[in-house]
Structure 1
Amino acid sequence: MQRGSDRLNVHRDDEMKHELRGLLRSGHPTRTEEWHDPEPAADDDPEVWAGPVAPGQVGASLETVRLELARHLGRHAFPAGAGELARALRRRNAPGALIDAVAGQSRSHRYENVQQLAEALVA
């Protein structure tokens, strides 16, 4: 069903798809300006690109766990207990392993900031 809001007709749309098919399947950047392409990861970047960092994982240092927590929790989440922080992580769609690690902490302890929480998770 045509609504009449298309700028191009069906034939021109199919023609444009055919013209772009090779570029999109080539695996190469399709932009003419190099500055449009995303930058590769630097050597000193944390390895978050390999997947979510969870406490207890190999290579999960204090810095990477703190970075992952800070990505999902803001300053307004603190001070809070483990249950409150786990709920905040769930609301922000954090990785399940990170939520489970936070939820497994002592319910009686309150964390003042991300640093305290990260130290408790890595210890």
Structure 2
Amino acid sequence: MQRGSDRLSVHKDDVMKHELQGLIRSGRPTRVEEWHDPEPGADDDPAVTTGPVSAGAPDLESLRFELARHLGRKAFPAKRRTLLRDLESAHAPDALTELVSGLPPETTYQNVQQVTQALRR
């Protein structure tokens, strides 16, 4: 009999590893019943609940990630009006929509990187 800090037996560890194998390989929940899966964070949740928080203005990488997540590839090339329409249809956070509304109206952007660079100026 082993005495240590183990709370589970070796057999139970193997069973748990087997249960998590699909989740680890796929990167998404693999259960049939949705009520087993954790609920994702909402847009109005504090940033602390969804990941690391940076102080001050959002950095370039996180801004680009948020734009790409809500716009996708189909939005480009686009002007400000098209970007705002696509952000609203994707239910983007108000803070992101307000940032994009400050862009020049007649400039055409070819990709998310160009939009991000224009926002940081």
Contact 1:66 1:114 in 2 (8 A): yes
Structure 2 counterpart of 1:113? 111
Match of 1:104 among 102, 105, 119: 102
In structure 1, C-alpha distance between the alignment counterparts of 2:60 and 2:108, rounded to whole Å = 19
- Structure 1 portions without partners, runs of 5+: 1-31, 39-46
Would the alpha carbon gap of residues 83 and 119 (structure 1) be closer, same or farther in structure 2, given more than 3 Å must change? Answer: same
How far does the alpha carbon of each residue in 1:16-67 deviate from its partner, in whole angstroms, 9 at most, with x for none? xxxxxxxxxxxxxxxx8363698xxxxxxxx89259x9xxx81411111000
- Structure 1 pair 49–59 and aligned structure 2 pair: CA distance change class (3 A): farther
Number of equivalences? 81
Q: Is the 8 A contact 1:61 1:122 kept in 2?
A: no
TM-score after normalising by structure 2: 0.56
Instruction: State the AA in 2 paired with 1:106.
Output: P
Distance in 1 of aligned mates of 2:101 and 2:49:
21
CA distance in 1, matches of 2:79, 2:49: 26
Task: State percent identity of aligned pairs.
Answer: 41
C-alpha distance 59-105 of structure 1, shift in aligned 2 (>3 A): closer
Give the alignment partner of residue 86 of structure 1, picking from 71, 84, 87.
Answer: 84
CA radius of gyration, larger in? 1
Structure 2 residues not aligned, in runs of 5+: 1-14, 24-36, 39-47
Offset, 1:68: 0.5
RMSD: 3.2
Moved over 4 A (4+): none
